[in-house]
Amino acid sequence: MRLTTKGRFAVTAMIDVTMHGVRGPVTLAAISERQRISLSYLEQLFGKLRRHGMVESVRGPGGGYNLARDAGTVTVADVILAVDEPIDATQCGGRENCLDDHRCMTHELWAGLNAHIFSYLGSVTLADLVRQQQQPRGGELAVLQDHRHPAGSAASPEPVTAV
């Protein structure tokens, strides 16, 4: 699970489709203007989103993109995986050919971390994000409150925004 601005652009665009798609398809030109994302870049992203079954396209005048599934069933992980090819952080590629005493330390390590991040991003749907967005000044995600954290040891001085 890679996490870059590319995936964030895709999620932002998908939220736009969700919010403005209640009556008819949403054009990429409209998304481009509202979210300030290059139209041609959106074309690339939505090409992948369409091939991964995230959206459906309607051609011709009045056309655009609709969600292919209900907003409550499309997760952030789905969107990111559609546009961001997964990477393999383990040097053994999942096989057991790592030698000596530390047999594939990175493998199990990142498998666990990946699994959890994936699990979290797979638990947040577009509907969740839209619901949060439509509150006047919500700030935090409601669904996020549902996750507990072991409380200890964090305490980083950096501001949380724009991390």
Closer residue to DNA (CB): 3 or 144: 3
d(CA 135, CA 119): 25
Selected binder of DNA within 23, 59, 95, 137 (CB under 7 A): 59
Question: In the set 1, 16, 46, 78, which binds DNA (CB under 7 A)?
Answer: 46
In the complex, the smallest distance separating the C-beta of residue 138 from DNA, rounded to whole angstroms, is 26
Q: Are 46 and 55 in contact (CB under 8 A)?
A: yes
| Collapsed DSSP state (helix, strand, coil) of residue 64 | strand
Binding of DNA by 34 (CB under 7 A): no
Q: Is 66 in the site for DNA (CB under 7 A)?
A: no
* 57 contact, one of a second copy, DNA, none, CB 5-8 Å limit per kind: DNA
- C-alpha distances out from residue 15 to 10, 54, 110, 132, Å: 9, 12, 29, 11
> Which of 69, 72, 86, 65 shows the shortest CA–CA distance to 7?
86
Q: Which residues bind DNA (CB under 7 A)?
A: 2, 4-6, 9, 25-29, 37-41, 43-44, 46-47, 50-51, 57-65, 84-85
